[in-house]
Structure 1
Amino acid sequence: MFIAYVVLAVLLSLLLLVSARGDITRDPKITEGLKAVGVPDSWLLPLGLVKIAGALGLLAGIAYRPLGIAAAIGVVLYFLGAVITHVRAGDKKGVGTPAVIMIVSAAPLVLGLATV
């Protein structure tokens, strides 16, 4: 199970870093979708930094599992918030991506708990 945790933590961290890059550099593909659901421009940098923190926490969890578990909880909650934001804005088309990432983020959490 440890190997599965490591693989998922690394892959999810890469996904989070790519996503954070879009937020921080204000990629138009990302910002248009966020503006459509009511996220102000001033939130883009903090949201990107939270994703980077989650990625680093997942990677640190390879060596110190409680930190990885805490990071996985944070990532799940982050994307739960994203799902709620899309649902509240009536954006049925945009809710899929954060929902899938939220579900995928639960896997390192479960594996982290199982290998403590």
Structure 2
Amino acid sequence: MFIATAVLSVLLALAFAGAGFPKASGKEEMAAQLGRLGVSAGFMRVIGALEIIGAVGLIAGLWVGALGVAAAIGLALLMAGAVATHVKARDAAKGSLPSLVLLVLSAVTAALGLAAL
């Protein structure tokens, strides 16, 4: 079970770090994209920072299991908020699909991590 948790944690960490850095650095393209959903530039930076912190937590969770579980739960909650934001903005299903996939993968990672504790 550790191998599955480790693989998911590393893949999710890469995905969240890749998504978080453009948001945290305030890239204009990202600000325009999230602006259509009603997300301010300041809040976009907060979301990016949370994604980066979550990615670090997932990697640290390979050594401290409870930290990885907490990071996965936090990222799942963050993605639940992302899905809700897409729905509220009446975004196309295609737009909310990446957030939904990351939500499910984060929840599975949290569940696997909890089972391993």
Deviation at 1:31, TM superposition (A): 2.3
Residue of structure 1 equivalent to 2:112: 111
Residue type matched to 1:81 in 2?
G
Name the % identity.
40
Where 1:38 maps in the other structure, the secondary structure is coil
Residues 1:19 and 2:11 aligned together:
no
> What is the aligned partner in structure 1 of residue 85 from structure 2?
85
Measured after TM superposition, the shift of residue 33 of structure 1 is 2.1
Q: Which residue type is aligned with residue 67 of structure 1?
A: L
CA distance in 1, matches of 2:4, 2:62: 11
SS in structure 1 of the partner of residue 39 of structure 2: coil
Assess if the C-alpha contact under 8 Å between 2:31 and 2:40 holds in 1: no
State the Cα distance separating 1:78 from its structure 2 match: 0.1
The structural deviation recorded for 1:29 is 4.0
Task: State the Cα distance separating 1:28 from its structure 2 match.
Answer: 4.1
Structure 2: where are the runs of 5+ without partners?
A: none
Runs (5+) with no aligned partner, structure 1 = none
Superposed CA deviations along residues 21-77 of structure 1, whole A, max 9, x for unmatched, are 221233344222210110001112211110011011111111111111111110000
Per-residue deviation, residues 67-91 of structure 1 (Å, max 9, x unmatched): 1111111000000000001101111
| Shift in Å, 1:98 | 0.6
Q: Aligned-residue CA RMSD in angstroms? A: 1.2
Secondary structure of the residue that 2:68 maps to in structure 1?
helix
Normalised to the residue count of structure 2, the TM-score between the two structures is: 0.92
**After superposition, where does 1:1-116 map in structure 2 within 5 Å?**
1-92=1-92, 93-116=94-117
Q: TM-score, normalised by structure 1?
A: 0.93
Aligned residue pair count = 116
The worse-fitting range, judged by mean Cα deviation, of 20-29 and 34-43 is 20-29
